Amino acid sequence: MLDQIIYAFIVIFIIMDPFSSVPVFVLLTRNYSAEKKRQAAAIASLVALCVALGFLLVGPFVLSLIGVRLESFQIAGGLLMLLIAISFALGLDMGKRRHDSVETVIIGVPMLAGPGVILTSLLLSNSVGLVPVVVALVGACLASFFILDFSSLLQAALGKRVLEIFSRVMGILLAGFAVEYIRKGFGI
């Protein structure tokens, strides 16, 4: 089970990509006290966890209710994940709207728990089981909290360019996972 948890964590963490949120988080929290910044990071991570867990638990019921087979969802999700991967890898801004509050940027325009994380959680639960995915989600959200909490230090130590390169590398890895989901959806 540990192998499944580690695999699920790696996939979810790559898709969550909290490093891409660091520059925006630093900019929007630059006038915050350390405590308020920590609180914003905690809220973002907790809401991401709740959204992902909520869909993980209710998603299969909703899919069966509307008559969508898991294979179809897997193919469609893989295609969407591939688009997200392309945007990460090429540094494109595909429809993300920036607003003035941290909660809207990090939570409202789900940078942490976006469609890719929601989809992946559901698909992973089908292949590795519910418990490993729940544990992986908790771990990824916890890691995201620490990355956001220490975002100023990360950006100062690594620089904006290194964070951007890291996000692009994550996009390439995500593209590989997306192709796997599409392949499995077709039964290949």
Does 73 map to a domain?
yes
- Separation between Cα atoms, residue 101 and residue 178, nearest integer Å: 31
The model carries a pTM of 0.72
- Separation between Cα atoms, residue 13 and residue 167, nearest integer Å: 11
- Confidence grade of residue 109 (pLDDT, cut at 50, 70, 90): very low
Does 64 map to a domain?
yes
Q: How far, CA to CA in Å, does 183 sit from each of 14, 71, 73, 115, 180?
A: 19, 10, 12, 19, 5
Q: Which of 53-67, 90-104, 108-122, 126-140 has the highest mean pLDDT?
A: 126-140
Chain-wide mean pLDDT for the chain?
81
Does 61 map to a domain?
yes
- Separation between Cα atoms, residue 75 and residue 159, nearest integer Å: 37
Q: Which of 53-67, 71-85, 138-152 has the highest mean pLDDT?
A: 138-152
Q: Is the pLDDT of residue 120 over 80?
A: yes
Does 136 map to a domain?
yes
- The whole-number pLDDT of residue 101 equals 54
- The whole-number pLDDT of residue 183 equals 85
Q: How far, CA to CA in Å, does 89 sit from each of 84, 107, 111, 128, 171?
A: 9, 22, 16, 27, 4
Q: Is the pLDDT of residue 104 over 50?
A: no
Does 17 map to a domain?
no
Does 40 map to a domain?
yes
Does 2 map to a domain?
no
Token pair 């995500």 is found at: 174
Q: Is the pLDDT of residue 167 over 50?
A: yes
- The whole-number pLDDT of residue 95 equals 52
Closest CA to 56 of 145, 128, 147, 144: 128
- Separation between Cα atoms, residue 89 and residue 140, nearest integer Å: 21
Q: What is the residue range of 177's domain? A: 33-185
- The whole-number pLDDT of residue 3 equals 95
Q: Please compute the mean of the pLDDT values over residues 148-155 and round it to a whole number.
A: 84
Does 6 map to a domain?
no
Q: Is the pLDDT of residue 98 over 70?
A: no
Q: Domain count for the chain, please give it.
A: 1
